[in-house]
Amino acid sequence: MTKKRKRQLNIEDEDETQESKRASTVRDLPFVTIDTLPLNFESQYAKFERIADETILDMNLRSNREQLEAFQTVAQHLANRGPEQLLLLVSGVGGTGKSHVIKSI
């Protein structure tokens, strides 16, 4: 037993609209080839690593292991972009380089 429909299906119109929807979605996508990328393309992470390494060299953080670890902890937290807040205690007696680490950050 078949049920009566309230509206009749128009099979011809459905086929045309489905094809036009598919065609419009295909046309809306941008066409990008490898030629469109610049020759000096650098990923965000590679750029971040380069800036962090330059800061380590400029601020001479390699000479003090604890200062380097503090800087790298903050740098890795920035690179990962975690949602949680980073809390870091920088302590020490006078002349240990607390201000130097904070300036480099």
pLDDT at 19: 57
- Residue 15 CA, distance from chain mean position: 41
pLDDT at 53: 93
Q: Are 104 and 62 in contact (CB under 8 A)?
A: no
Dist. CA 73–CA 88, nearest whole Å: 9
What type of residue sits at position 55? T
What one-character-per-residue DSSP string does 39-91 give? TT---HHHHHHHHHHHHHHHTT-TT-HHHHHHHHHHHHHHHHT-SSPP-----
pLDDT at 44: 81
pTM above 0.85, yes or no: no
From first to last of its 105 residues, the chain has per-residue pLDDT tens of 677 767 776 666 555 555 555 555 556 666 777 777 677 777 788 888 999 999 999 999 999 999 999 999 999 998 888 788 999 999 999 998 999 999 998
